[in-house]
Structure 1
């Protein structure tokens, strides 16, 4: 068996810790921070970076969003809820013009979520998650989970990851085989590089 030099082991440990630190947070309580630290990074965007939407860290990119998928608001025979994304006070400086719409559709096929935004930083990556509380309550509270206390990754949670195009716009869609019912009440958008800075939120009114 080939031994790995101690310096190499140290470098790997440091890289792992840095990645966990980057993904930690999401602006909620300690449970929320632990949840976000386990998020997998797979990019699916409406920008030229969409070629990077493949498998990263074992997570299929389609589980995090597909800009070419049929949007939730265009699905036939689905129960559709539309919500306007509003900037949050926790947004990073210079993000006052962020605006957009989120759609949540439910059918016999499960749940489809689409998010469309403008006013983003061109070329920057963002993540959105379904949350279990309204925007006015702790900025959405914790992530919505189909099985509370279960896995913090899809398909137990609904995540969307996307990169803003050169105009600062982005649209992506994700599908989940299960219905959320009325338990997922909000969608929260975060900059990927600063997950604690919740950027915008939309309330779904069922």
Structure 2
């Protein structure tokens, strides 16, 4: 996706603000919740990828629960998450409903369970490495008019058992961890 100068400037500002708030990046999207979100070559949603619940291999699932740090009005958020691992790497898919309509969201794999500090820090392949992909797995999407949204992303590396949860954040309020799903 090629960003025009105003969109690139806005996306860069979002990246800076998100890094300060949560230690990761944000991106711009075309708005239907299914298009690829991309910042400087960093894809956060690949609508052409095979969803994790359809990938051959070891597939873990989890149901989202609303966290105590969620923004007001988030009580009805629900959804499922899948994490598939095989010889080709890791695929993560999330599907949610009850979100604010036409709103940008960002999700990350986390290094702890939902009960442990709302997922704890972001999962990193290299603990001393960067806070952005490919060292972390980020998913981004814009919810539809009906408040539903989904994203799928793949990595050519396996996360092993180091990423027991995925956390969703509103893109404009990264300090507010909205919902978390533990993989089982």
TM-score range, shorter chain: 0.7 to 0.9
* Candidates 176, 188, 192, aligned match of 2:155: 176
Q: Does 1:48 align with 2:27?
A: no
Q: Secondary structure at the match of 1:25?
A: helix
Alignment length (residue pairs): 175
Structural RMSD (CA)? 2.2
Q: From 116, 120, 137, give the equivalent of 1:141.
A: 120
Q: Which of the two has greater helix per residue?
A: 1
Unaligned runs of 5+ in 2: 1-8
SS in 2 for 1:162: strand
Which residue, out of 153, 164, 168, partners 1:189? 168
Distance 1:91 1:149 in 2: 29
Q: Segments of 4+ in structure 1 off by > 6 A?
A: 15-18
Residue in structure 1 matched with residue 16 of structure 2 by the alignment: 20
Name the one with the larger strand percent: 2
Q: C-alpha deviations, 1:93-116, integer Å up to 9, x for none?
A: 011100000000000000000000
Give the match's secondary structure for 2:21: coil
Partners of 1:198 and 1:54 in 2: CA distance = 20
Using the size of structure 2 for normalisation, the TM-score is 0.87
CA distance in 1, matches of 2:17, 2:51: 33
Normalised to the residue count of structure 1, the TM-score between the two structures is 0.78
